[in-house]
């Protein structure tokens, strides 16, 4: 719906005719329909544009009416008495009916003359539709038009009390006063109203007139705050607001009640708000802070006490000294800036039944504040920035009661405000705390302790579990002891029951324990801290001791501290206390003595022991296979046990030791370890070195695996023994068996006699690949094991069991 509205306003004051006014009214009617249409379609931009045009027209109409004494003659013919539709025959909603009923009621109360003219109907009803359906900028003209109806209805009330001093304050209300004056102009334009015979100031010369305006304002306030629309005004009974005033008392009925609900919290001391409203040439009202206490009022439009400015050069000022409602007015602005803060203690003074016009203006200002606040809410452009509520600088200028405790604390702290972590979790936090500086997020110190390390630890565990770890540096710290408690027993009739502070619990130890199911140190972490003991409590309650923290290690774990062996955990179930927990503190009950019946002394818990240990695992197996790479060690282990080490045709396939269990019929189990291959010069760190020889260091007997397919296989045996001697002297002299593998190959059968001829010990020829002669190996292995068991029994020790 695109409608081009050509301004029907005459450019000169002398051009104002009834036709031009009628044209403007029709245009306004069309505008209202367009606004409603755009509202239903959700086109806010177009809606705002047409609202601005409508606003200009209304302002101009009001200006004409305010300045023209013969406005009545210029107005079109009044509609019929039963006209209840808005301009253009808009459907009458319930709220409009309320307004009309009030309007008609006012007419009945007043002169009984025909209802308001088309202009009044248009202004009063049409914009009301808009305002009820949308908030913000529409509210302003709506409000003003609603006041028109009320003013018109209470026309006779103006003839009673007319304090001249009220002209100034009403005029001094800036742009808000524009709308009020328009309302009055409408009253003047009403041929049945008595106000039209007066000057433009007449409608403000009556306190009742002001109060009638307040009624309109209150309706707007209701619309803006309670969203109940203008129907509330009609539904609310208008009780006598000022008993001394007649004629309009019915209009004021309920107003006090309303304000009691809306502003019954009272107003405090006046606080300068330093705000002015500037209507620009486009109907937008900019908001600007300025000195408020001393504001001037410019008269630039004839003798009217109300000044209407369409151009952007106009400025509406407020003269607070003209009326004694500075507090009320400031309250108004505060209200519109902080709509959520409605706690104004002491505000009731403006609504007492015996108060004068000033109190009415007070309430009027509040209504305007509500109205204008909602009006500004929909503004865009530069004024919208100034409308930003709770600006940091604005907040700092506000009185304390308008600033929340939290915001005040932030302002006074002068430091970047770091919100709490749980606050940051609130998704609406950043939106709510726009006044605070840019939120600084926490340094994640706590998060790193609880989340990220945990994630890293899990990754490290997974990573470490992929590899065989046979040595580990561990930093262990025992748990700290709990603090002792210092307190005294007290109960009725036994106030001095003596000290009853309990001791703190001892910290937990860190214990290394051999688990036969653990095959490596991969599950051992680098840092351990024991569980702390709980502090002592009252009533002689001792703190709970910290639990012991067990670290599972594989059999054959050697514990070293500063290159000294402190523990050799070879048997399953062996334990070693790696770090002692701290002793718990003593409660004051512990210090009870004959010479001190009320000790207050209590001791803190002791910290746990800290140690740096080196764990070294040496594979605990009965037999260890030693051979050159590709000799077939892994293949042999696979052949005689259930172990599944990797087998490949390239050297150094095996990088970590593997242990396989050979089961015999008598349920004896012989553990056989497969270690990486050893080459000549391994002691010089050639190949994989010989560090892995530690894993055969604990083996009770050895299995030398020789590849018979290679020429001069005896050289392999010599080199192996040489390297073992380099690693540990006498290691090659342990009980052992010589295995000639790959006997299935033809070359092996040639080399086997040569090897056997050079050795005194019998060589066991076999084929791990084909399984040839494996029985001989198993029998010999069993003999070696039996010898080992006998030796252990002779030593009085239990043989290693798997």
Ligand X SMILES: Nc1nc2c(ncn2[C@@H]2O[C@H](COP(=O)(O)OP(=O)(O)OP(=O)(O)O)[C@@H](O)[C@H]2O)c(=O)[nH]1
Binding residues (CB under 6 A) for ligand X: these are: 627, 629-635, 647-649, 651-654, 676-677, 741-742, 744-745, 767-769
What is the nearest approach in angstroms of ligand X to the Cβ of residue 642?
16
Q: Which stretch binds Mg ion (CB under 5 A): 443-451, 453-461, 608-616, 650-658?
A: 650-658
Helix, strand, coil: what percent of the chain each, to 5?
Answer: 45, 10, 45
Instruction: Specify the residue for token string 């003596």.
Output: 498
Report the 10 Å Cβ neighbour count for 420.
Answer: 10
Partner in contact with 600, chosen from ligand X, Mg ion, none, beta carbon below 5 to 8 Å by kind? none
Instruction: Specify the residue for token string 């109300």.
Output: 306
Partner in contact with 745, chosen from ligand X, Mg ion, none, beta carbon below 5 to 8 Å by kind? ligand X
Query: Cα–Cα distance between 611 and 428 in angstroms, integer?
Result: 49
74 versus 745: smaller Cβ distance to ligand X: 745
Structure tokens at 128: 């009301």
Query: Cα–Cα distance between 631 and 708 in angstroms, integer?
Result: 8
Residue by residue, DSSP assigns 196-265 as GGS-TTGGGS-HHHHHHHHHHHHHHHIIIII---THHHHHS----S-TT--SSHHHHTTHHHHHHHHHTT
Nearest to 199 by CA among 93, 341, 65: 65
316 versus 628: smaller Cβ distance to Mg ion: 628
How many of the chain's residues bind Mg ion (CB under 5 A)?
3
389 versus 629: smaller Cβ distance to ligand X: 629
Partner in contact with 622, chosen from Mg ion, ligand X, none, beta carbon below 5 to 8 Å by kind? none
Partner in contact with 744, chosen from ligand X, Mg ion, none, beta carbon below 5 to 8 Å by kind? ligand X
What is the nearest approach in angstroms of ligand X to the Cβ of residue 739?
10
What is the nearest approach in angstroms of Mg ion to the Cβ of residue 801?
26
Judged by CB under 5 A, the chain residues 603 through 642 that form the site for Mg ion are 634
CA angle 204, 207, 208 (to 5 degrees): 100
110 versus 677: smaller Cβ distance to ligand X: 677
384 versus 769: smaller Cβ distance to ligand X: 769
Q: Which residues contact 725 (CB under 8 A, 6 or more apart)?
A: 731, 732
Partner in contact with 741, chosen from ligand X, Mg ion, none, beta carbon below 5 to 8 Å by kind? ligand X
Partner in contact with 152, chosen from ligand X, Mg ion, none, beta carbon below 5 to 8 Å by kind? none
525 versus 774: smaller Cβ distance to ligand X: 774
Partner in contact with 410, chosen from Mg ion, ligand X, none, beta carbon below 5 to 8 Å by kind? none
Nearest to 411 by CA among 382, 437, 383: 437
What is the nearest approach in angstroms of ligand X to the Cβ of residue 678?
8
511 versus 737: smaller Cβ distance to ligand X: 737
What is the nearest approach in angstroms of Mg ion to the Cβ of residue 653?
5
Nearest to 566 by CA among 615, 529, 619: 615
Partner in contact with 467, chosen from Mg ion, ligand X, none, beta carbon below 5 to 8 Å by kind? none
What is the nearest approach in angstroms of Mg ion to the Cβ of residue 606?
51
Partner in contact with 321, chosen from Mg ion, ligand X, none, beta carbon below 5 to 8 Å by kind? none
What is the nearest approach in angstroms of ligand X to the Cβ of residue 693?
13
Q: Which residues contact 302 (CB under 8 A, 6 or more apart)?
A: 67, 200
| Terminal-to-terminal C-alpha distance of the chain | 91
What is the nearest approach in angstroms of ligand X to the Cβ of residue 717?
14
Judged by CB under 5 A, the chain residues 423 through 442 that form the site for Mg ion are none
Query: Cα–Cα distance between 774 and 56 in angstroms, integer?
Result: 110
74 versus 774: smaller Cβ distance to ligand X: 774
Q: Does the protein bind Mg ion through residue 653 (CB under 5 A)?
A: yes
134 versus 741: smaller Cβ distance to ligand X: 741
289 versus 653: smaller Cβ distance to ligand X: 653
What is the nearest approach in angstroms of ligand X to the Cβ of residue 742?
4
Please check whether residue 207 is in contact with residue 245, taking contact to mean a CB–CB distance below 8 angstroms: yes
Please check whether residue 278 is in contact with residue 309, taking contact to mean a CB–CB distance below 8 angstroms: no
What is the nearest approach in angstroms of ligand X to the Cβ of residue 726?
19
HEC profile for 377-424? HCCCCHHHHHHCCCCHHHHHHCCHHHCCHHHHHHHHHCCCCCCCHHHH
Judged by CB under 5 A, the chain residues 654 through 713 that form the site for Mg ion are 654
Length of the chain: 802
Query: Cα–Cα distance between 739 and 768 in angstroms, integer?
Result: 10
Q: Which stretch binds Mg ion (CB under 5 A): 21-29, 147-155, 470-478, 646-654?
A: 646-654
Partner in contact with 679, chosen from Mg ion, ligand X, none, beta carbon below 5 to 8 Å by kind? none
What is the nearest approach in angstroms of Mg ion to the Cβ of residue 641?
13
What is the nearest approach in angstroms of ligand X to the Cβ of residue 635?
3
Q: Which residues contact 589 (CB under 8 A, 6 or more apart)?
A: 498, 499, 500, 501, 502, 503, 540
What is the nearest approach in angstroms of ligand X to the Cβ of residue 423?
60
Query: Cα–Cα distance between 336 and 317 in angstroms, integer?
Result: 18
3-state secondary structure of 589: coil
Read off the DSSP letter of residue 559: E
Instruction: Specify the residue for token string 């005033």.
Output: 245
What is the nearest approach in angstroms of ligand X to the Cβ of residue 766?
7
Strands (E), 534-649: 549-553, 557-561, 564-569, 575-579, 610-617, 623-627
Partner in contact with 184, chosen from ligand X, Mg ion, none, beta carbon below 5 to 8 Å by kind? none
Q: Which stretch binds Mg ion (CB under 5 A): 221-229, 398-406, 557-565, 648-656?
A: 648-656
Partner in contact with 768, chosen from Mg ion, ligand X, none, beta carbon below 5 to 8 Å by kind? ligand X
Partner in contact with 74, chosen from ligand X, Mg ion, none, beta carbon below 5 to 8 Å by kind? none
364 versus 692: smaller Cβ distance to Mg ion: 692
Instruction: Specify the residue for token string 């705002």.
Output: 48
Structure tokens at 728: 């540990």
Read off the DSSP letter of residue 595: T
Q: Which residues contact 376 (CB under 8 A, 6 or more apart)?
A: 136, 137, 285, 287, 336, 383, 387
24 versus 637: smaller Cβ distance to ligand X: 637
Partner in contact with 623, chosen from Mg ion, ligand X, none, beta carbon below 5 to 8 Å by kind? none
What is the nearest approach in angstroms of ligand X to the Cβ of residue 700?
21
Q: Which residues contact 108 (CB under 8 A, 6 or more apart)?
A: none
Partner in contact with 367, chosen from Mg ion, ligand X, none, beta carbon below 5 to 8 Å by kind? none
516 versus 749: smaller Cβ distance to ligand X: 749
Q: Does the protein bind Mg ion through residue 306 (CB under 5 A)?
A: no
411 versus 647: smaller Cβ distance to ligand X: 647
77 versus 655: smaller Cβ distance to ligand X: 655
Site residues for Mg ion per CB under 5 A: 634, 653-654
């Amino acid at each position: 719906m695109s409608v081009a509205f050509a301004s029907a306003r005459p450019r000169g004051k002398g051009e104002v005719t009834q036709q031009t006014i009628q044209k403007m009214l029709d245009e306004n009617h069309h505008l209202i329909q367009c606004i409603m249409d755009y509202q239903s379609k959700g086109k806010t931009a177009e809606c705002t544009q047409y609202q601005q045009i409508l606003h200009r027209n209304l302002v101009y109409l009001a200006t004409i009416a305010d300045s023209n004494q013969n406005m009545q003659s210029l107005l079109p013919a009044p509609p019929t008495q039963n006209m209840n539709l808005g301009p253009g025959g808009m459907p009458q909603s319930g709220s409009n009916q309320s307004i009309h009923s009030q309007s008609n009621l006012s007419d009945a109360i007043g002169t009984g003359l025909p209802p308001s003219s088309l202009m009044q109907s248009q202004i009063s009803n049409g914009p009301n539709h808009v305002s009820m359906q949308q908030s913000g900028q529409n509210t302003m003209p709506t409000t003003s038009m609603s006041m028109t109806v009320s003013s018109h209805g209470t026309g006779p009330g103006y003839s009673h009390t007319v304090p001249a001093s009220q002209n100034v304050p009403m005029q001094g209300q800036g742009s808000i006063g524009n709308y009020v004056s328009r309302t009055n102009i409408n009253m003047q334009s009403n041929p049945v109203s008595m106000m039209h015979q007066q000057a433009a100031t007449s409608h403000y010369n009556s306190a009742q007139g002001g109060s009638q305006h307040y009624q309109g304002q209150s309706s707007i306030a209701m619309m803006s705050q309670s969203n109940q629309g203008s129907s509330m005004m009609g539904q609310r009974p208008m009780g006598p607001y000022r008993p001394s005033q007649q004629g309009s008392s019915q209009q004021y009925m309920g107003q006090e009640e309303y304000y009691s609900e809306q502003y019954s919290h009272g107003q405090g001391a006046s606080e300068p708000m330093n705000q002015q409203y500037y209507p620009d040439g486009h109907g937008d009202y900019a908001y600007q802070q300025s000195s408020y206490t001393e504001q001037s009022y410019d008269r630039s439009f004839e003798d009217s006490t109300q000044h209407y400015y369409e151009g952007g050069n106009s400025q509406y000022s407020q003269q607070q000294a003209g009326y004694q409602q500075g507090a009320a007015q400031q309250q108004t602005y505060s209200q519109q800036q902080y709509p959520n803060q409605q706690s104004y203690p002491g505000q009731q003074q403006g609504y007492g039944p015996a108060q004068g016009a000033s109190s009415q203006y007070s309430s009027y200002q509040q209504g305007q504040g509500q109205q204008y606040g909602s009006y500004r809410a929909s503004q865009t452009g530069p004024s919208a920035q100034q409308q930003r509520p709770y600006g940091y600088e604005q907040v700092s200028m506000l009185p304390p009661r308008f600033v929340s405790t939290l915001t005040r604390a932030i302002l006074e702290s002068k430091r970047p405000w770091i919100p709490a972590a749980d606050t940051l979790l609130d998704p609406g936090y950043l939106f709510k705390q726009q006044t605070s500086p840019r939120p600084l997020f926490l340094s994640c110190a706590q998060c790193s302790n609880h989340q990220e390390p945990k994630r890293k630890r899990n990754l490290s565990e997974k990573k470490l579990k992929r590899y065989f770890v046979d040595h580990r540096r561990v930093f262990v710290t025992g748990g700290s002891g709990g603090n002792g408690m210092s307190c005294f027993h007290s109960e009725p009739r036994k106030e001095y029951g003596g000290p009853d502070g309990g001791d703190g619990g001892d910290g937990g130890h860190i214990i290394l324990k051999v688990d036969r199911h653990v095959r490596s140190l991969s599950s051992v972490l680098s840092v351990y801290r024991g569980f702390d003991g709980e502090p002592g409590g009252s009533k002689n309650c001792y703190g709970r001791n910290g639990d012991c923290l067990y670290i599972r290690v594989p059999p054959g774990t050697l514990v070293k501290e500063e290159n000294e062996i402190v523990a050799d955990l070879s048997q399953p179930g062996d334990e070693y206390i790696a770090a002692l927990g701290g002793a718990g503190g003593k409660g004051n009950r512990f210090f009870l003595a004959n010479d001190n019946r009320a000790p207050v002394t209590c001791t803190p818990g002791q910290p746990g022991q800290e140690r740096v240990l080196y764990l070294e695992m040496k594979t605990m197996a009965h037999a260890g296979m030693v051979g050159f790479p590709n000799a077939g060690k892994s293949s042999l282990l696979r052949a005689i046990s259930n172990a599944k080490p990797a087998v490949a045709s390239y050297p150094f396939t095996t990088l970590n030791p593997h242990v396989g269990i050979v089961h015999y019929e008598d349920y004896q189990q012989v553990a056989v370890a497969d270690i990486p291959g050893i080459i000549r010069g391994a002691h010089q760190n050639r190949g994989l070195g010989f560090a892995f020889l530690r894993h055969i260091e604990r083996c009770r007997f050895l299995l030398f695996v020789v590849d018979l397919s290679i020429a001069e296989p005896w050289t392999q045996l010599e080199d192996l023994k040489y390297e073992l001697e380099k690693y540990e002297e006498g290691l090659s002299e342990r009980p052992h068996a010589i295995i000639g593998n790959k006997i299935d190959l033809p070359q092996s059968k040639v080399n086997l006699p040569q090897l056997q001829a050079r050795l005194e010990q019998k060589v066991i020829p076999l084929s791990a690949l084909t399984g040839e002669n494996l029985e001989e190996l198993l029998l010999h292995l069993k003999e070696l094991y039996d010898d080992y068991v006998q030796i252990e029994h002779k030593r009085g020790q239990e043989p290693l069991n798997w």
